[in-house]
């Protein structure tokens, strides 16, 4: 959580605000207290949403829906005012991790924790459906692991069973990777839609990966509408349940009541929990959030990295080439928390021997990891990966600054200091297209989600969108310095550009019209990327910080402050719970995206770290450095997986995973792009 800002109100209704918990799609979330000191969580709605036709009625319905379900299965609604300016809702503060936090910080769940989770969520959905409601946004971030079992929160999109599934504007409610197929196809949704989402939640809990999450929205949609994936080698009964939940025929999915009967023979609360397991003290009381994930983690100190010479000039750090209108600018935490007896964690973070006692069984089971019992071996470190290749693809006459895949993985786009952006066929290596040349450097390129448009940004202070078919450009004017980075939002409606003029600008991704400016960094903004939901934007700057912005308000929500040099690159994990940064100080870091707390420091590079990217499943992190080396890391533990070296002869400035995660592309100052088979 973060302290209140001067712009925050001191109280909402009768309740005094005490801290910021985060920001969701609907508004700002605060921790508050009553006059007697009881804890509350208050969600204050964005004014622009409150002004929309019919919004206040929908918001009142959220409060009423949660009240009808009751506090046993959700966060109890204490108070709400849908007529206030702006509207707000207050719920009881429930200490506990969200399911996202528990899995990301401690690893996937093993039985019986999975079974306890399945039955607890089935009970919750049964209560919701008996009230005549469909939740429609069941996902890991909307599940709090309370002391008495899981709580399903955020009824902001819950609808009566007889209501249309679409708004008057034709917008489908929900979170795409956890939607049912009928939600994505704009069909009427019933209780069975929540059951499909339950299967996806359980698959995430068992594997640590969103089963349908793709590299792009289009890829995620294809996975949802295609044959369901194999849940993997998990508890057989839970695997069978997940498969049944994923039936594309809603009528064949089990009801919550039938799910409960599957496990009624199991006594999940039998006394006799193993004395060798204990709940870590630092994880016993986390604040709950209506729709925002928070978490914790600490990181070891960074190492100092020397500057690498290149051609008699300092390392190619981009700002050292003079930029028009550019501006001159400019407490490390302890080692990683949540480790095993030897200071390291295995990828499988939670091993449960027997069910815990009483209603605390779920939370205890979710937070336990294997202890050093009876001389058992220490958790295994990450195994060295078998990497084939690399295969060269594409070449520029000068530095290659960026490489990205399209949504199918069939084409890569590259940006070069030779003044060109280029498209290459991945299978053949043939040059597909070269848009018009620019004077100076092309720093960055990005595909729109539908692959119909490519955005490019340049050292002449311009940016543009160009049609892949016709190569017709749409200019994005306005920056007063080099434009360093560009990114499309997940639905393609927004484009962000980052510049030496210290600003990030937002544009309409279809028309190219200017939307907003985000200002706050005190030096060059080097990198920009959207969060998976499209509500958040991350930036990295030469001022040594990275920030996450709420693009609705234009205000920074989280600041990552801890690097000792320019932050060159920033990336979100696929679920959005974490962010990674790469810095001139020789480290890459993984942070909690909700709180800004550092989690892991990766300090094995020889020199500045220029680029960072998560794999599509979130299990790997790729980095590239000034020595021409790329590395793969276990994103959960920070353990090195493999080193890709000896091929590039100069700095690696960009790394990108293919949508299926089987290939890593690396782009270098030596003018080449290489494809590494990491599958």
The number of helix segments (H) and strand segments (E) in the chain equals: 10, 38
User: How far from 320 is each of 29, 323, 636, CA to CA, in Å?
Assistant: 41, 8, 35
> Do residues 335 and 298 make contact, with C-beta atoms less than 8 angstroms apart?
yes
User: Which residue's structure tokens are 């302890």?
Assistant: 334
Question: Chain centroid to CA 296: how far?
Answer: 15
DSSP at 103: H
Catalytic choice (126, 137, 154, 501) = 137
Count of residues in the chain: 679
Which pair of structure tokens corresponds to residue 263? 């496990």
Residue 101: helix, strand or coil by DSSP? helix
Residue 240: helix, strand or coil by DSSP? helix
Spatial distance between the Cα atoms of 223 and 407, rounded to a whole number of angstroms: 12
Spatial distance between the Cα atoms of 648 and 630, rounded to a whole number of angstroms: 9
Which pair of structure tokens corresponds to residue 30? 């605060």
User: 572: exposed, middle or buried (C-beta count within 10 Å: 0-12, 13-18, 19+)?
Assistant: buried
| Alpha-carbon dihedral sign for residues 125, 198, 215, 547 | positive
User: How far from 213 is each of 144, 201, 242, CA to CA, in Å?
Assistant: 21, 12, 16
What b-and-e string marks burial along 638-671, b requiring 16 or more CB atoms within 10 Å of the CB?
bbbbbebeebbebbbbbbbbbbbbebbbbbbbbb
How many degrees, rounded to 5, is the angle at CA 260 between CA 256 and CA 266?
160
* Residue 585 is a catalytic residue: no
User: Which residue's structure tokens are 């195994």?
Assistant: 383
**Active-site annotation, residues:** 137
């Amino acid at each position: 959580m973060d302290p209140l800002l001067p712009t925050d109100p001191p109280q909402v209704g009768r309740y005094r605000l005490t801290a910021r918990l985060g920001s969701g799609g609907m508004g700002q979330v605060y921790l508050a207290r009553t006059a007697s000191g009881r804890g509350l969580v208050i969600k204050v709605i964005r004014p622009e949403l409150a002004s929309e036709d019919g919004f206040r009625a929908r918001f009142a319905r959220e409060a009423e829906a949660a009240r009808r379900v009751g506090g046993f299965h959700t966060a109890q609604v204490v108070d709400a005012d849908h007529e206030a300016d702006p509207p707000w809702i207050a719920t009881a503060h429930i200490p506990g991790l969200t399911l996202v936090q528990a899995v990301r910080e401690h690893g996937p769940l093993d039985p019986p924790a999975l079974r306890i989770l399945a039955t607890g969520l089935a009970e919750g959905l049964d209560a919701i459906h008996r009230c005549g409601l469909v939740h429609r946004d069941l996902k890991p971030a909307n599940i709090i692991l309370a002391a008495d079992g899981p709580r399903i929160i955020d009824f902001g999109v819950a609808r009566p069973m007889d209501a249309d599934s679409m708004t008057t504007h034709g917008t489908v409610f929900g979170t795409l990777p956890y939607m049912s197929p009928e939600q994505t196809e704009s069909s009427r949704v019933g209780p069975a839609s929540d059951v499909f989402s339950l299967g996806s939640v359980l698959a995430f809990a068992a594997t640590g990966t969103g089963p349908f999450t793709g590299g792009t929205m289009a890829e995620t949609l294809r996975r949802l509408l295609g044959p369901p994936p194999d849940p993997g080698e998990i508890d057989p009964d839970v695997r069978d349940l997940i498969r049944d939940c994923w039936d594309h025929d809603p009528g064949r999915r089990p009801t919550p009541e039938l799910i409960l009967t599957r496990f009624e023979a199991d006594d999940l609360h039998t006394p006799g929990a193993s004395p060798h397991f204990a709940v870590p003290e630092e994880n016993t009381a986390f604040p709950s959030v209506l729709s925002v994930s928070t978490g914790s983690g600490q990181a070891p100190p960074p190492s100092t990295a020397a500057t690498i010479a290149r051609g008699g000039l300092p390392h190619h750090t981009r700002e050292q080439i003079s930029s028009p209108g550019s501006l001159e600018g400019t407490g490390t935490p302890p080692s990683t928390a949540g480790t095993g007896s030897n200071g390291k964690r295995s990828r499988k973070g939670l091993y449960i021997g027997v069910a815990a006692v009483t209603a605390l069984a779920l939370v205890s089971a979710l937070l336990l990891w294997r202890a050093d019992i009876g001389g058992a071996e220490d958790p295994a470190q990450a195994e060295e990966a078998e990497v084939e290749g690399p295969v060269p693809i594409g070449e520029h006459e000068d530095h290659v600054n960026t490489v990205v895949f399209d949504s199918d993985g069939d084409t890569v786009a590259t940006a070069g200091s030779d003044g060109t952006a280029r498209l290459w066929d991945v299978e053949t290596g043939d040059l597909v297209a070269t848009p018009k040349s620019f004077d100076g450097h092309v720093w960055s390129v990005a595909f729109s989600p539908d692959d119909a448009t490519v955005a490019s940004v340049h050292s002449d202070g311009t940016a543009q969108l160009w049609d892949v078919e016709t190569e017709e450009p749409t200019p994005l004017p306005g920056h007063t310095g080099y434009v360093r980075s560009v990114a499309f939002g997940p639905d393609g409606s927004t484009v962000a550009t980052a510049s030496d003029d210290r600003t990030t600008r937002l544009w309409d991704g279809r028309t190219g019209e200017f939307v907003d400016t985000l200002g706050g960094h005190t030096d060059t903004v080097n990198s920009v990327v959207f969060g998976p939901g499209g509500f958040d934007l991350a930036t990295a700057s030469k001022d040594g910080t990275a920030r996450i912005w709420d693009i609705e308000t234009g205000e920074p929500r989280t600041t990552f402050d801890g690097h000792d040099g320019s932050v060159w690159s920033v990336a979100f994990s696929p679920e959005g719970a974490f962010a990674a940064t790469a810095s001139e100080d020789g480290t890459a870091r993984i942070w909690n995206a909700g709180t800004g707390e550092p989690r892991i420091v990766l300090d094995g590079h020889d020199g500045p770290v220029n680029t960072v990217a998560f794999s599509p499943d979130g299990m790997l992190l790729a980095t590239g450095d000034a020595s021409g080396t790329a590395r793969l890391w276990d994103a959960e533990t920070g353990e090195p997986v493999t080193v890709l070296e000896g091929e590039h002869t100069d700095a690696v400035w960009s790394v990108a995973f293919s949508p299926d995660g089987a290939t890593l592309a690396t782009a270098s100052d030596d003018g080449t792009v290489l494809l590494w088979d990491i599958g």
